[in-house]
């Protein structure tokens, strides 16, 4: 028996999570385990009604679960950033989910915009550091000379380079500080190298150390130190601008890609496109020794809420990652195989060229699993 928390969230979130739960329950029935679901009403509707995003009591309860199954967050009625920071990022930081895991794999029967590439070429994993970089929330935006005196370093920089005194001449200033620590970098790299040992034994590091040499210079140093403990693994450095080119031109070069937070956020969306689209892209926010959260990487698509037309495959695939995290590796692999079978059978939503609804796709995959395929 596994106890798993479920948060449907906003927009299409409840529908795709419902389909995902149907599939995971079927996988449990076939492979001999049960999932006890606990649903949490966390999202825009509650926020608009009560002002609550996620409470300390809920965070304390959720910390008791090894896994959270999460739908989507975001609502047109709420200013962008409030729900995302107040719910999604709040959980990532509260549970120290320092790994963002993104498989970039083209499934059989899907289409990629990359000419001449197929499933044999597009099969790698991005391991993104999930708690540092420019996402730590250290920054500000202000007007007026008095507060600008806080930024003496910026003032001096602008005086030297541009002949501008930001304390008097600039109308408004915004700044954001990125933080990289040796400890956080080391743990995400250990995870990446350990994962590579189960795959093709290659790790590619992403940074921008040629320009942002302080923060990403440290990232490179830690990568080099970690590589020394894994002599069997082939390694390489990639600047982030270059890695976007190679994802498009030669995706077959990559096996495990490890990246700081901001660059990982960007390149995983590119990864989703080359594997067939956001509707096929799952993600995991992982604390190997704590509470992890699994979700599709697409948004909440409020305009399609309640219409039974959202593609649930990314959510179902995220459920496969959840099962793998719980140790149900055979069941996890079977779920992905069942997703491929649904695509081959043409049981897909409109975005993949089919005519099935969200629920119908989930029911078909669940039925396929129960038939013992």
Residue with tokens 């040499």: 213
Would the pLDDT of 29 be above 90? yes
For residue 162, name the pLDDT band (cuts at 50, 70, 90).
low
Would the pLDDT of 142 be above 80? no
Would the pLDDT of 204 be above 90? yes
Which of 371 and 168 is assigned the larger pLDDT? Answer: 371
DSSP β-ladder status, 202-207 and 123-129: unpaired
Q: Which residues contact 139 (CB under 8 A, 6 or more apart)?
A: 174, 175, 176, 177
For residue 139, name the pLDDT band (cuts at 50, 70, 90).
confident
CA distances from 167 to 138, 148, 160, 164 (A): 20, 5, 14, 9
Would the pLDDT of 83 be above 70? yes
Q: Among the listed ranges 150-154, 257-261, 267-271, which one has the minimum average pLDDT value? A: 150-154
For residue 140, name the pLDDT band (cuts at 50, 70, 90).
confident
Mean confidence (pLDDT) of the chain: 93
Would the pLDDT of 180 be above 60? yes
- Give the right CATH number for 112-132+180-275 from 3.30.70, 1.10.3470, 2.130.10, 3.40.50: 3.40.50
For residue 144, name the pLDDT band (cuts at 50, 70, 90).
low
Is 43:10 a contact under the CB 8 Å cutoff? yes
pLDDT digits (tens, 9 = 90+) for 2-12: 999 999 999 99
pLDDT digits (tens, 9 = 90+) for 301-341: 999 999 999 999 999 999 999 999 999 999 999 999 999 99
Euclidean distance between CA atoms 67 and 318, whole angstroms = 11
Euclidean distance between CA atoms 211 and 219, whole angstroms = 13
Would the pLDDT of 169 be above 90? no
Would the pLDDT of 157 be above 70? no
Hey, where are the domains in the chain?
Answer: 1-102+277-373, 112-132+180-275, 134-176
pLDDT digits (tens, 9 = 90+) for 86-102: 999 899 999 999 999 99
pLDDT score at 149 = 55
pLDDT score at 178 = 87
Euclidean distance between CA atoms 117 and 112, whole angstroms = 7
Would the pLDDT of 293 be above 80? yes
- HSE of 111, CA atoms in CB hemisphere, 13 A: 4
Would the pLDDT of 161 be above 90? no
Would the pLDDT of 153 be above 70? no
Task: Please compute Rg for the chain using Cα positions.
Answer: 22
Question: Residues 361-370: what's their mean pLDDT?
Answer: 98
- Give the right CATH number for 1-102+277-373 from 3.20.20.70, 3.40.718.10, 3.40.1280.10, 3.40.50.11540: 3.40.718.10
pTM: 0.91
């Amino acid at each position: 028996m596994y106890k798993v928390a479920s948060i449907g969230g906003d927009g299409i979130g409840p529908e795709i999570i419902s389909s995902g739960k149907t599939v995971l329950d079927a996988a449990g029935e076939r492979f001999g385990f049960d999932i006890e679901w606990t649903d949490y009403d966390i999202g825009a509707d509650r926020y608009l009604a009560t002002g609550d995003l996620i409470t300390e009591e809920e965070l304390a309860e959720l910390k008791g679960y090894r896994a959270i199954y999460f739908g989507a967050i975001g609502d047109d009625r709420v200013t962008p950033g409030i729900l995302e920071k107040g719910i999604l990022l709040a959980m990532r930081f509260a549970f120290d989910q320092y790994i963002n895991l993104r498989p970039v794999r083209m499934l059989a029967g899907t289409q990629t915009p990359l000419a001449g590439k197929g499933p044999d070429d597009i099969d790698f994993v991005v391991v993104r550091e999930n708690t540092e970089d420019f996402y730590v929330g250290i920054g500000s935006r202000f007007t007026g000379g008095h507060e600008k005196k806080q930024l003496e370093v910026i003032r001096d920089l602008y005086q030297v380079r541009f002949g501008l005194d930001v304390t008097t001449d600039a109308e408004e200033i915004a700044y954001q500080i990125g933080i990289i620590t040796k400890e956080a970098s080391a743990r995400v790299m250990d995870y990446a190298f350990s994962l590579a040992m189960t795959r093709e034994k290659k790790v590619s590091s992403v940074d921008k150390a040629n320009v942002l040499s302080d923060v990403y210079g440290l990232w490179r140093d830690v990568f080099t130190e970690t590589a020394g403990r894994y002599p069997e693994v082939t390694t390489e450095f990639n600047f982030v601008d270059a890695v976007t080119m190679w994802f498009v031109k030669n995706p077959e070069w990559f096996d495990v890609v490890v990246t700081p937070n901001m660059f990982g956020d960007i390149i995983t969306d590119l990864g989703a496109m080359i594997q067939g689209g956001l509707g096929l892209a799952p993600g995991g926010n992982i604390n190997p020794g704590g509470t992890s959260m699994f979700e599709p990487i697409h948004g909440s698509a409020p305009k399609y809420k309640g219409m039974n037309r959202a593609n649930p495959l990314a959510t179902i695939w995220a459920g496969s990652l959840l099962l793998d995290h719980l140790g149900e590796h055979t069941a996890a692999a079977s779920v992905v195989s069942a997703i491929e079978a649904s695509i081959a059978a043409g049981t897909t939503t409109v975005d993949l060229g089919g005519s099935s609804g969200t629920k119908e796709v989930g029911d078909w995959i669940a039925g396929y699993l129960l038939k013992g395929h």
